[in-house]
Amino acid sequence: MTDAERPSAVERELERHDAFEPADDTYRLTTTVFDAAVDVTPADGARDGEFAVTVTLPTLDNAVAGERVATAVEDGWYETLKRRLADIFTVAQTTTHDNPTVSRDDDTVTVRLEYTARDAGEGVADAKTLVEFVEGTYAQGIIPGYEYRGPAGTLLENAQQRGEQADGDAGGMPM
């Protein structure tokens, strides 16, 4: 979509928001380890825009380093991810949305979220919230016992660093 086709109120909100940056014909969320693109088209009536958020995640097998994940484990992980994402819009302000679409190919899982925002600011805030929900849901599904690489490895490393920082902060506190 060109800038001329994107609703101006939404364009302003995306430009002002420090977590989004222009990328090709969409905007990318920069606060996630995953590829997350936001596209917006004009909405009918008194609404500011129709949002399409696409998040691309590695499959469990693609995230694991140095070994193959059994098909039954991979399939169970994927089905659990889909079930956990079914109610994703409970964290958003929008009430007008399609059901999330979650699809898988050999190496990636694609989550597509489409909704209509009455207000550009709320629509942009929802985009960030929804992507962060996908990231958190993915992190919850990481199975212990494997060594992870790529975005999954980064998620685990970031969590470990935050845990160590919290331990260090609590260590100096009097009991």
Instruction: Note the pLDDT tens digit of each residue in 14-71.
Output: 888 989 999 988 999 999 999 999 998 888 776 788 999 999 999 999 999 999 999 9
Which pLDDT belongs to residue 2?
45
Give the C-alpha separation, 141 to 135, whole Å: 10
What are the φ/ψ torsions at residue 152 (nearest 5 degrees)? -65, -40
Q: Which CATH number fits domain 8-171: 3.30.1460, 2.40.10, 3.40.50, 1.10.20?
A: 3.30.1460
Q: Which candidate, 71, 60, 126, 74, places its Cα nearest to that of 96?
A: 126
Give the C-alpha separation, 139 to 146, whole Å: 13
Instruction: Note the pLDDT tens digit of each residue in 128-143.
Output: 999 999 999 999 999 9
Which pLDDT belongs to residue 11?
83
Instruction: Note the pLDDT tens digit of each residue in 90-124.
Output: 999 998 999 999 999 989 999 999 999 988 899 99
